Amino acid sequence: MRENIVQDVKEEQKDTEYLVMVYGSLKKNFHNHHLLHTSELLGEQKTAEEYTMYGLGGFPAIKEGGSTSICGEVYKVDDPTFKRLDRLEGYPHFYNRKEIETSYGTAWIYYIKDADSLKSNKVIESGIWER
């Protein structure tokens, strides 16, 4: 009986893993990529053509309801990393997130909550943020 309880506790202590698609400063060779240092890059991904990407200076933002595919990278992240990404993205106040289907499985993607605030920013027609 005690062995089962110990095993259950060990199972609960394992980190949950998430898939996250990043498209801006978290991509490899960009300034916030260090937050993904313990994560596994699964590969590149393009979304469906249903977003608009805006350049906000040091990072991009996407909004729902456009006609552009967003190009990014999908990572497998652990629970502490996912929480760090939420802090960086200002979730749930600045960015929101939703699940999308990718070649690697269902992944989270961050999108801007206040899309009206983006209207004065440059649209990135390609869906590829290169800074």
pLDDT tens digits for range 28-87: 999 999 999 999 999 999 999 999 999 999 999 999 999 999 999 999 999 999 999 999
pLDDT tens digits for range 81-95: 999 999 999 999 999
| CATH 3.10.490.10 for the 15-116 domain, yes or no | yes
Residue 21: both structure tokens together: 């698609």
Distance CA 12, CA 18 (A): 16
Q: Domain coordinates of the chain in residue numbers?
A: 15-116
Q: What is the DSSP string of 6-33?
A: HHHHHHHHSPPEEEEEE-STTSTTSTTG
Q: Tell me, yes or no, if 89 is annotated catalytic.
A: yes
- 121: closest CA among 66, 52, 65? 52
- 73: closest CA among 10, 128, 9, 3? 128
Tell me the whole-structure pTM to 2 decimals.
Answer: 0.88
Write down the catalytic residue from 89, 101, 125, 130.
89
